[in-house]
């Protein structure tokens, strides 16, 4: 951790409190990742030399300009993408592919449109990996639906639900097998602003109950501050870690009384993040102009 | 005709209004169709009676119906109709059995696509009539040649549609399958196949249209002496205009019936589709 902070985040406001006794749940070491374009014989480097540790039970948000490799990072953890250099380890074991210990929530929900809500959630339990005995499936699905507040919609089809409700189904599907790690790729990017805020509050409540480790990608600075324990700022492509920021705001943050959004500390973190990301946006623009 | 009545608010806060619909609304479209067809045949009859056009080419509607009735009564139509229909349905079934798996394979495997697509596209665009001399040479006049031309007409559109279906599966659905533990066969069975189903049906739909053409070509040019095509051919040679028109009407009814059946099936197979695209 200290290594990351020292090399790529000289301006970090707070050193993450390290507990060397407890090994990191997810550990990325000097990861470089990219995509080959075989037709043009080129390779696009999406992430360069990224080292990062995620602790058990932590809520980590990743922010950065579009195309900075945020999604690549989450895909590395999910096991969709293999690093060109370096390694990604979960519980000390190298990630070689998707596993039942990691579930994902997609920006476009990725629900099967021909299945009802309940059968979409059962999908996570009926396949070869992470299979749950049939007798247990119904009960688990009901519990997951209760968790996301969708009891009574078991027999609805995704196209009959609003965007926010669809993503609740997506979250329930990811949580139903009780994975250790929840990967969320801009989960609220496609829902409207009002629903978004309600979903954030709900997510905080759910995670407080289920205690998952979360890696959460977002475009929204406010969303990152409100949800995360730590925020990783990634620079534009090829993505490197610019800074890791501790969010030391008290929880629960969506409590009516706490009003975290108006606290001075919230404002500080927010303006710091803004200046970091404005740099990135400006840098991208200047580069575009000189080209 | 219609008016709305406000019902008392329900306990769950949802406002459901009952609307009163006229009893006849359900029969409206049927009624319009009946009136429409009646007018059509009446005008036909009147034009024919006025003898503006030579009755050799344009018989009266009543003569046409008489020919249709007599044809069924004396057994000239039914054997030919059943021959065509049986042939067509068998040909379509064979096309589906070959076309669907091969199309799915082409969508799923790049290698299969590269190997097969030149032939598939050549056969899809080649006018079917061009094959008739060759097929007659190989199989002679008869049933197997008629069946072959139906299959050759219907199988390629089915193949191409199935391939397109597999290729347009949303990548995030496949990724969700991978994340949630599905093996490769499970992804095919639970994600790709259901997603492709509407494409399969529209492929079969196109297969029907093309297959009907193939059926007629085979019967008209194949000289097998049976089928609706043969009826058409013979009626033409004998200057039997009422019979000619009666056969055409039968063909129209047959193809409209098949297409409607497929449409019904399409709505059953993917009710989520048109709503989610709206």
Which residues on chain A are in Cβ contact (under 8 Å) with B277?
A: none
Chain A positions touching B270 (Cβ under 8 A) are 114
B205: burial class by Cβ within 10 Å (0-12, 13-18, 19+)? buried
Q: Work out the average pLDDT over B117-128.
A: 90
Judging contacts by C-beta atoms under 8 Å, the chain A residues touching residue B272 are 113-114, 157-159
Asked if residue A161 is part of any domain, the answer here is: no
Cβ atoms of A131 and B181 within 8 Å: the answer is: yes
How many structural domains does chain B have?
Answer: 2
Minimal CA–CA distance to A76: which of A137, A21, A35? A35
Residue B98 lies in domain: 70-277
Q: Check if B234 contacts A (Cβ < 8 Å).
A: no
Residue B271 lies inside a defined structural domain of this protein: yes
Q: How far apart are the CA of A100 and the nearest CA of chain B, in angstroms?
A: 7
Enclosing domain of residue A85 = 2-101+179-290
**pLDDT tens string B127-146:** 888 888 888 888 888 788 99
Residue at A250 is within a domain? yes
**CB hemisphere CA count around A239 (13 angstroms):** 26
Burial class (CB in 10 A: 0-12, 13-18, 19+), B185: exposed
- For residue A282, the model assigns a pLDDT of 67
Query: What is the mean pLDDT of the segment spanning B99-104?
Result: 93
Least confident window among A48-57, A254-263, A281-290, B45-54:
A281-290
pLDDT for A286 equals 55
Per CB-CB distance under 8 Å, the chain A contacts of B177 are 127
CA–CA dist A92, A113 (Å, integer): 37
Distance CA B123, CA B151 (A): 12
A145 inside domain: no
Residues B38 and B84 in one domain: no
With an 8 Å Cβ cutoff, are B180 and A128 in contact? no
Residue B246 confidence (pLDDT):
93
Residue B173, pLDDT > 80, answer yes
Average pLDDT over residues A119-146: 89
Q: Averaged over A265-269, what is the pLDDT?
A: 91
In a shared domain, residues B103 and B231: yes
| Residue B190 near chain A (CB below 8 Å) | yes
In a domain, B185, yes or no: yes
Q: Which among B90, B61, B69 has a CA at the least distance from the CA of B227?
A: B90
Residue of B nearest to A132 (CA): B181
CA-angle at B240, arms to B239 and B242, nearest 5°: 140
User: Quick check: is B58 in a domain?
Assistant: no
pLDDT of B40 > 90? The answer is yes
Collapsed DSSP state (helix, strand, coil) of residue B105: helix
One domain for residues B127 and B214: yes
Write the ipTM: 0.81
A129 touching B (Cβ < 8 Å): yes
CB contact under 8 A, B181 and A173: no
In a domain, A32, yes or no: yes
What CATH number is attached to the domain comprising A14?
A: 3.40.50.300
**In angstroms, rounded to a whole number, what is the distance separating the alpha carbons of residues B1 and B21?**
7
A159 and B272 within 8 Å at the Cβ level: the answer is: yes
Distance from CA of A225 to the nearest CA of B (A): 27
Nearest to B173 among A78, A102, A110 (CB): A110
Q: Residue B232 and residue B248: Cα distance in Å, rounded? A: 8
d(CA B222, CA B128): 13
Residue A40: per-residue pLDDT? 83
User: Are residues B219 and B168 located together in one domain of the fold?
Assistant: yes
Residue B64 belongs to a domain:
no
| Res. A239: pLDDT tops 60 | yes
pLDDT digits (tens, 9 = 90+) for A12-63: 334 444 445 567 899 999 999 888 888 888 888 888 899 999 999 999 999 9
Question: How far is the alpha carbon of B266 from chain A, nearest alpha carbon, in Å?
Answer: 13
Q: Is residue A279 assigned to a domain?
A: yes
Residues 6+ apart with CB under 8 A from A57: A211, A212, A213
Q: Is residue B233 assigned to a domain?
A: yes
Q: Which of A98, A102, A108 sits opposite B172 (nearest CB)?
A: A108
Q: Which chain B residue's Cα is nearest to A179? A: B180
Q: Determine contact: A159 vs chain B, CB below 8 A.
A: yes
- B30 in a structural domain: yes
User: Cβ contact (<8 Å) for A112 and B180?
Assistant: no
| Beta pairing class for A59-63 and A213-217 | parallel
Are B181 and A124 an interchain contact pair (Cβ–Cβ within 8 Å)? Answer: yes
Contacts of A74 in chain B (CB under 8 A): none
Q: What length is written for chain B?
A: 278
| Contact residues on chain B for A110, CB-CB shorter than 8 A | 170, 172-173, 175-176
Interchain proximity A129–B173, CB inside 8 Å: no
Distance from CA of B92 to the nearest CA of A (A): 27
Task: Examine the pLDDT at A291 and tell me if it is beyond 50.
Answer: no
Say if CB B260 and CB B91 are below 8 A apart.
no
Is A290's pLDDT higher than 70? Answer: no
Q: For residue B271, what is the nearest residue in chain A, using CA coordinates? A: A114
- Mark whether B271 and B237 lie in a shared domain: yes
**Residue A92 within a domain:** yes
Scanning every residue of chain A, which has its alpha carbon at the shortest distance from the alpha carbon of B176?
A110
CA distance A211 to A213: 7
Q: Which residues contact B83 (CB under 8 A, 6 or more apart)?
A: B226, B227
B189 part of contact set with chain A, CB < 8 Å: no
A229, A71 Cβ separation under 8 angstroms: no
Closest CA to A190 of A166, A163, A171, A161: A163
Residue B30: which residues within 8 A CB-CB, separation 6 or more? Answer: none
Is B202 found in the same domain as B176? Answer: yes
Mean pLDDT for A131-152 is 89
Please compute the mean of the pLDDT values over residues B252-274 and round it to a whole number: 80
The answer to whether B13 faces chain A, any CB pair under 8 Å, is no
**Beta A26-37 vs A42-54: how paired, if at all?**
antiparallel
Examine residue B220 and state whether it is found in any structural domain, yes or no. yes
Q: What is the pLDDT of residues B5-16, one digit of tens each?
A: 444 433 344 556
Q: Domains in chain A: how many in total?
A: 1
Contact A127 B182 (CB under 8 A): yes
Task: Determine the 3-state secondary structure of B180 from DSSP.
Answer: coil
Whether A63 is covered by a domain: the verdict is: yes
In a domain, A8, yes or no: yes
The answer to whether A157 faces chain B, any CB pair under 8 Å, is yes
Phi-psi region of B32 (alpha: psi -120 to 50; beta: other; left: phi over 0): alpha
Q: Is the CB of A159 less than 8 angstroms away from the CB of B270?
A: no
Which residues in chain A are closer than 8 Å to B179, comparing Cβ atoms? 78, 98, 102-104
Confirm or reject contact between A127 and chain B (CB < 8 A): yes
Q: Domain holding B81: CATH number?
A: 1.10.3720.10
Mean pLDDT of B213-222: 88
Q: Do B23 and B157 fall within a single domain? A: no
Q: How far apart are CA B40 and CA A121, in angstroms?
A: 55
Do B18 and B128 lie in one domain? The reply is no
Of B182, B183, B275, the CB nearest to A159: B275
A38 Cβ under 8 Å from any chain B Cβ = no
Tell me if B146 sits within 8 A of B227, measured CB to CB.
Answer: yes
Q: Give residue-wise pLDDT tens across range A149-203.
A: 888 999 999 988 988 899 999 999 999 988 999 999 999 988 888 888 888 999 9
Cα–Cα nearest to A56, from A21, A99, A4, A7: A21
């Amino acid at each position: 951790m200290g290594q990351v902070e020292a090399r790529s985040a000289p301006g970090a406001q707070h050193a993450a409190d390290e507990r060397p006794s407890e090994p990191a749940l997810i550990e990325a070491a000097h990861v470089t990742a990219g995509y080959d374009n075989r037709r043009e014989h080129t390779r696009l480097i999406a992430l360069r030399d990224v080292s990062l540790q995620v602790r058990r039970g932590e809520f980590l948000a990743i922010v950065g300009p579009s195309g900075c490799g945020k999604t690549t990072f989450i895909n590395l953890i999910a096991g969709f993408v293999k690093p060109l250099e370096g390694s990604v380890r979960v519980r000390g074991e190298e990630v070689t592919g998707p596993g039942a210990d990691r579930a994902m929530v997609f920006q476009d929900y990725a629900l099967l449109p021909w299945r009802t809500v309940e059968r979409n959630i059962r999908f996570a339990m009926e396949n070869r990996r992470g299979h749950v005995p049939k007798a247990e499936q119904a009960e688990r699905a009901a519990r997951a639906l209760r968790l996301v507040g969708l009891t009574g919609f078991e027999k609805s089809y995704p196209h009959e639900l609003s965007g926010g409700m669809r993503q609740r189904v997506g979250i329930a599907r990811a949580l139903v097998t009780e994975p250790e790690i929840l990967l969320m790729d801009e989960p609220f990017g496609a829902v409207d602003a009002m629903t978004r805020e309600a979903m954030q509050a709900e997510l905080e409540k759910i995670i407080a109950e289920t205690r998952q480790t979360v890696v959460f990608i977002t475009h929204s600075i406010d969303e990152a501050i409100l949800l995360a324990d730590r925020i990783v700022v990634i620079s534009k492509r090829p993505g490197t870690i610019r800074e890791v920021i501790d969010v030391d705001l008290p929880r629960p943050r969506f409590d009516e009384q706490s009003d975290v959004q108006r606290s001075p500390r919230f404002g500080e973190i927010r303006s710091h993040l803004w200046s970091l990301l404005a740099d990135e946006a400006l840098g991208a623009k200047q580069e575009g102009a000189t080209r | 005709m219609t008016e709305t009545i406000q019902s008392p608010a329900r306990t769950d806060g949802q406002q459901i209004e009952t609307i009163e619909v006229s009893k006849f609304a359900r029969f409206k479209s049927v009624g319009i169709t009946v009136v429409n067809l009646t007018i059509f045949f009446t005008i036909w009859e009147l034009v024919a009676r006025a003898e503006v056009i030579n009755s050799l080419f344009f018989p009266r509607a009543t003569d046409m119906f008489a020919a249709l009735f007599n044809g069924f009564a004396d057994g000239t139509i039914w054997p030919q109709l059943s021959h065509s229909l049986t042939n067509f349905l068998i040909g379509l079934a064979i096309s589906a059995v070959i076309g669907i798996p091969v199309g799915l394979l082409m969508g799923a495997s790049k290698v299969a696509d590269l190997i097969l697509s030149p032939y598939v596209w050549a056969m899809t665009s080649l006018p079917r009539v061009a094959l008739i001399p060759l097929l007659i040479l190989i199989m002679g006049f008869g049933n197997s040649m008629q069946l072959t031309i139906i299959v050759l007409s219907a199988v390629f559109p089915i193949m191409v549609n199935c391939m397109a279906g597999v290729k347009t599966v949303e990548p995030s659905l496949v990724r969700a399958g991978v994340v949630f533990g599905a093996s490769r066969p499970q992804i095919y069975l639970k994600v790709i196949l259901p997603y492709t189903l509407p494409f399969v049906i529209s492929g079969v739909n196109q297969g029907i249209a093309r297959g009907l053409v193939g059926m007629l070509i085979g019967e008209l040019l194949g000289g097998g002496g049976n089928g609706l095509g043969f009826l058409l051919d013979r009626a033409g040679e004998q200057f039997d205009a009422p019979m000619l028109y009666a056969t055409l009407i039968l063909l129209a009814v047959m193809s409209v019936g098949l297409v409607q059946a497929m449409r019904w099936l399409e709505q059953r197979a993917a009710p989520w589709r048109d709503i989610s695209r709206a």
